[in-house]
Each structure stands twice: as structure tokens, then as C-alpha cells.
Chains A and B, each alone.
Chain A
Amino acid sequence: MSPPVLQCFGLTRRFGGLVAVDDVSLALASGALHAVIGPNGAGKSTLANLLSGELTPTSGTLQLDGESVTGWPAWRMARAGVGRSFQRTNIMRPLSVQENVRLAAQARLTPPTRLWRNAAKEAAPQIAARAALERVGLGAEAARKAGALSHGQQRQLEIAMALATAPRVLLLDEPLAGMGPEESETLAALLRDLARDHAVLLVEHDMDVVFRVADQVTVMVEGRVLLSGTPAVVRGSAAVRDAYLGQAT
């Protein structure tokens, strides 16, 4: 396996008395899909927020390509190649689908000296946005208002926005949540495809999908890592069945 791109050591985050993420270490390598599962409130989203710079850790460190990036703000992490999608759809609703994705592409493609140029005449972000929309299957919806898309399409848009920033690391927080079976099938295939040339962290509820697409699975319970291993190992673990899989059924 290739060396880790994004790596954390002893990551801990407290909210008052609650330890939402407790001493978590993991490594994301390019070409691998790392799934994080666990019951509601296990700290999965908080972990994603720590990795993306959205939250600063109470303790622990974060490394990107071996360099410390602990405490970097979210925008800087994104610029450095860490893209993400959100569990709760987080888009610019009144703007067009195309503009949502174009803004994502613009963040990477526009040096400050070009910011005064007419946006309508700047081709590079437009083209990158188009490509990202095509990739998630939203090419036909580009002109629509983002807020007018169906729930499933908004989930796709989330991913297109993350893709348009041309990230090396993708942190996807329950991208399949609320999608119909057909849409999630398409998206699962896309995830597999993305994992070929990205380091992907997938927080997901749907066990079928996780065991199908993941190279490695980390099980979190109450902020801690219960177990981390290949899908086969996790599926076979009695501890995981007790702590989580048993609950789900």
C-alpha cells in the first residue's frame, strides 16, 4: 500500500464533559477506502470534522504528507487537498447547481491576482465544474437551482463539490444517507472508482455498502476505536456484533 497521505495520532475532542472522539489514530492512504462505522453518537462526524480542520482537537496531532497540519483552519486544509462532504446537506441553495460546483473549482484554480476578472469569462473553473457534475451524474441538472434538486441529487451535488476542489483526500460523511436504492448503487460504484486515485474516508451506516467497497473498516463506539481491520475481520468479530451490528437488527 502507498504511504499515508492524511494521518492522525491520538486525536481527542471534548465537548464539555463529553469525550466525543477519544484517542483515535488512523492513516488514510491513496488508493484505499477506509470506512468508519459505529452507532449514532459514536463520534464519526466529529472525527471527520477534526480531520478536515472544521474542529480543532483537544489533543492529538494531524499530519498531511508527513507534515504537521494540526490546528489548520478548514479552508487551508481544503486548499492542501482535503475535500469533504457533509452528513447534513450543506450547499448554497439559491445558487445554481453549476455555480455551487464552480465555486468549489474556483477555490483551487484562481490565484488572488486573477480574482478581479469577469467570472463568466473564466473558463477553467466552469470546465472543472462541468466535469465534476458529469462524474456524479448531475450533468443534466447544471442550470437548476441547487435547492430545487431532490434529496438524493443534493447528496450527489455534495460529492461533486468535494470533487471539484481536486482533493487527494476525500472525507465523506454518510454520503448515501437518504438515497434511493438505485442512486446508492450508482454512488457505491463511484466510491469504488474514486478510491482508486484518492485516499477516501467513508462514514457510512449501510453495512452492505461498507463491506462491499471498503479496504479497511474502523469501528467506533463512544468515541473510541473498538476494532480496525479488513471487512472480513470486522464482520467476524464477536465484539463488533455485540457493540454494534447486534443493535442494528
Chain B
Amino acid sequence: MVIASRRGHLLLGGAALVVALLPLVAGAYVLQLVSTALVMALFALSLQLLVGGTGLVSLGQAGFFGLGAYAVYFVQGKGAAASLLLTLPVAALLAGLAALAVGALALRTRGFFFLMTTLAFGQMLYFLIHDAPWAGGADGIFVQRPNFGLFGLDYVPARRDRPAVLLWTNLALLCAAYAGLVVVMRSLFGRMLQGIKENDHRMQALGHNTYAVKLVAFVLAGALAGVAGHQWAMTEAFVNPELLGWHRSAEALLMVLLGGLGALHGPLLGAFAFIGLNELAQLVTERQRLVEGLVILAAVLLLRDGLAGLRWRSRA
């Protein structure tokens, strides 16, 4: 998996700046849509650490995403919002611990069996939340948005400012997560992930405890998915069991595929393209899923390296 060049990072930075300035020109609907895209980009990015980074194709990532979202519900007081400084670490911790348990077992399998095991564990988490009496019910439940409290000084954005503040929060977290993963992938640890992706067996023969390395990556990805889930709950003020379901795992996998497995920033492009496409399809037809599916199929077939593989061909 490659990391974008300096020029690529300038472009990504420019795009982030455009998103940050959107509240100056766009209405609440667009801001909400872009906020969702940022959250899904963060979620897909967490999956990319596994798929593109380590060669582990998981279908259970939404389980950790959903747990992160439900952390907001679990932590909030009766009718009172909790501080982001509490809910966010709890979301990451809860999702990370779940990933530790799931990964410890799932990583004993390989390839297709890993896919099926993660799918099974994801669905178990889904049914746990779906059926548990303490999880707010099968239809989901409204949650209090975490506030920006610090030492009793709570900042609660005015209703009118809220879409912008949420957008900036999601953008900041996405940028931080991306920067963090750049550091991870450039590190000695990241090189091990790359080696494992190409040839796990050989890495073991060289003296690498690949099981432990993969488990660390799995927990890291799970915690990051938990942060994404937390941002979902904060953005929507609503959580439901579907957040943990395999549909959502598959959706993130599609975003990764559409953006390209070969580049760390692929899922960022993939998530925005996917959500943009969804929006367009909704305008023209009722059968948006079909349109979506066809376009993604075409994109994946035509662009071998996904959207991240597109190049400006004008310069020689």
C-alpha cells in the first residue's frame, strides 16, 4: 500500500480546506451530508489498515463501528449529555477491546475463513445489541450529542451552528486519523504489515510473530472504527442495531474497493464517491441501490487501482 506523494498530500490538504470552508456557503443539508461522508471515510479508513495494509479482508468491521456509536448511549447520563472527552475514549476502548477478543480468535484463520469468522463475530455483536434489554431496543434510540465539556466548562454549540461544528469535528478527527496512519504505515511496524500482506509464512520464518502483529493492527483498526461510530452517533444523535450489521461492513468494504486497495487515501475518495453517487442516484431513480451497484461494478472493473489510481495524464 502506497502513501500519497507530497503533491498528493497537498491536494488532500486542499480538499480538506474546501470542506472546512463549506459552512460559509452551504446549507444545513449539504453540511450534514458531508459530515456523514467524513464519518464513513473515517470508518473505511479503519478498514483499509486491515485490507490494503495487512491483506486481511474483514466483514465484521461494522461491529466495532456500532459499538463505538453505542458507547455514546451507554455513557450518557439520564437526559444529560456527556463530555466528548469521556465518550470518545470510551468508544475507542470499547471497540478496541471487542476487536481484541474477536481478533484473537479470527486471526487463527486465514483468507476465506477469516472473512467468514469476522462476519460471524460481527453478526454476533449485532444480535447482542439488537436483543439486549440494556441497549435501547431493536429499533434504535435517540442519544444526547456529547458536548465539548472540559473541567465543567461546557461548550454546547447553538442549534444554528451545530452542522458546522459537527463537520469541523468530523474533519479534524479524520485528518488526525489519516496522519496517524501515515506514521503507522511508514514505521517499522507498518513495514511488517506490508511483509505480512505479501507473505505471512515467510515473515514467520524470518522471526516475526505475525499473529501478534496482526492482532495489534486489528485492535488499532477496531478502535478507529469505534471512533468513527462515535462520530456517527454524535452527528445523527441516533443509534440503531443496523450500525453493527454486515450490510454496513460490506458498504465500507465497497468504499475501500472503489477508492483503491493500493493507497492509504483510497477510502477517503471511495467514501465521498460512494455517498455522492448515492445522492445522485436518489435524484434520478427509486432503484438507487441498483444504480449504485452497477456504477461501482463498472468502476472496479475499469479502474484496477480504484479512484486513487487515477492520474493526471497531461504531464509527461
Interface, chain A (partner B; CB < 8 A): 52, 54, 73-76, 78-79, 84, 86, 90-95, 99, 102-104, 106-108, 110, 114-120, 122, 125, 161, 165
Q: A74-B205, A118-B186, A119-B187 are in contact. Are A93 and B198 (CB under 8 A)?
A: yes
- A165 engages B207 (CB within 8 Å): yes
9 A-B pairs with the lowest CB-CB distances in the bound complex, closest first:
A78-B207, A107-B207, A92-B198, A115-B189, A79-B207, A75-B204, A104-B206, A103-B195, A119-B191
- A165 engages B206 (CB within 8 Å): yes
Of all chain B residues, which has the CB nearest A116?
B187
Q: A91-B199, A103-B192 are in contact. Are A52 and B205 (CB under 8 A)?
A: yes
- A91 engages B204 (CB within 8 Å): no
- A107 engages B188 (CB within 8 Å): no
- A114 engages B188 (CB within 8 Å): yes
Of all chain B residues, which has the CB nearest A92?
B198
Asked whether B110 is an interface residue with its Cβ less than 8 Å from the other chain, the reply is no
Q: A86-B205, A93-B199 are in contact. List 19 more A-B contacts (CB 8 A).
A: A75-B206, A78-B206, A79-B207, A84-B205, A92-B198, A94-B198, A95-B194, A95-B195, A102-B191, A104-B207, A106-B192, A115-B187, A115-B188, A116-B188, A117-B187, A118-B183, A119-B190, A119-B191, A120-B186
Interface, chain B (partner A; CB < 8 A): 183-184, 186-192, 194-195, 198-199, 201-210
Residues of A within 8 A of B190 (CB): 119
- A90 engages B206 (CB within 8 Å): no
Residues of B within 8 A of A75 (CB): 203-210
Of all chain A residues, which has the CB nearest B191?
A119
- A73 engages B187 (CB within 8 Å): no
- A103 engages B206 (CB within 8 Å): yes
Roughly how many angstroms separate A93 CA and B210 CA in the complex, as a whole number? 18
Roughly how many angstroms separate A119 CA and B204 CA in the complex, as a whole number? 19
Ordered by A's residue number, 22 sampled pairs between the chains whose C-beta atoms are within 8 Å are A52-B205, A54-B205, A75-B205, A76-B209, A78-B204, A78-B206, A78-B207, A84-B205, A86-B205, A93-B199, A99-B191, A99-B195, A102-B191, A108-B207, A110-B188, A114-B188, A119-B186, A119-B187, A119-B188, A120-B186, A122-B188, A161-B202
Roughly how many angstroms separate A90 CA and B189 CA in the complex, as a whole number? 21
- B187 engages A74 (CB within 8 Å): no
- B198 engages A95 (CB within 8 Å): yes
Residues of A within 8 A of B201 (CB): 90
A118 to B: closest C-beta gap in Å: 5
Of all chain A residues, which has the CB nearest B194?
A95
Residues of A within 8 A of B188 (CB): 106, 110, 114-117, 119, 122, 125
Of all chain B residues, which has the CB nearest A171?
B205
- B205 engages A78 (CB within 8 Å): yes
A50 to B: closest C-beta gap in Å: 14
- B205 engages A118 (CB within 8 Å): no
Residues of A within 8 A of B194 (CB): 95
B1 to A: closest C-beta gap in Å: 11
Roughly how many angstroms separate A95 CA and B199 CA in the complex, as a whole number? 10
Residues of B within 8 A of A118 (CB): 183, 186-187
A65 to B: closest C-beta gap in Å: 17
Roughly how many angstroms separate A118 CA and B201 CA in the complex, as a whole number? 24
Residues of B within 8 A of A117 (CB): 187-188
Residues of A within 8 A of B203 (CB): 75, 103
Of all chain B residues, which has the CB nearest A121?
B186
Of all chain A residues, which has the CB nearest B185?
A119
- B195 engages A92 (CB within 8 Å): yes
Roughly how many angstroms separate A90 CA and B202 CA in the complex, as a whole number? 6
Of all chain B residues, which has the CB nearest A78?
B207
Roughly how many angstroms separate A84 CA and B206 CA in the complex, as a whole number? 8
B204 to A: closest C-beta gap in Å: 5
B53 to A: closest C-beta gap in Å: 14
Of all chain A residues, which has the CB nearest B210?
A75
Residues of B within 8 A of A115 (CB): 187-189, 192
B43 to A: closest C-beta gap in Å: 24
Max chain A CB contacts within 10 Å: which of B184, B191, B203, B209? Answer: B191
B9 to A: closest C-beta gap in Å: 16
Max chain A CB contacts within 10 Å: which of B188, B190, B199, B205? Answer: B205
Residues of A within 8 A of B204 (CB): 73-75, 78
A217 to B: closest C-beta gap in Å: 25
A113 to B: closest C-beta gap in Å: 11
Residues of B within 8 A of A90 (CB): 199, 201-202, 205
Roughly how many angstroms separate A111 CA and B56 CA in the complex, as a whole number? 25
Residues of B within 8 A of A78 (CB): 204-207
Of all chain A residues, which has the CB nearest B186?
A118
Q: A91-B199, A93-B198, A95-B194 are in contact. Are A107 and B186 (CB under 8 A)?
A: no
Roughly how many angstroms separate A52 CA and B207 CA in the complex, as a whole number? 11
Roughly how many angstroms separate A118 CA and B189 CA in the complex, as a whole number? 9
B166 to A: closest C-beta gap in Å: 31
Residues of A within 8 A of B199 (CB): 90-93
Residues of B within 8 A of A161 (CB): 202, 206
Roughly how many angstroms separate A119 CA and B186 CA in the complex, as a whole number? 6
Roughly how many angstroms separate A75 CA and B35 CA in the complex, as a whole number? 44
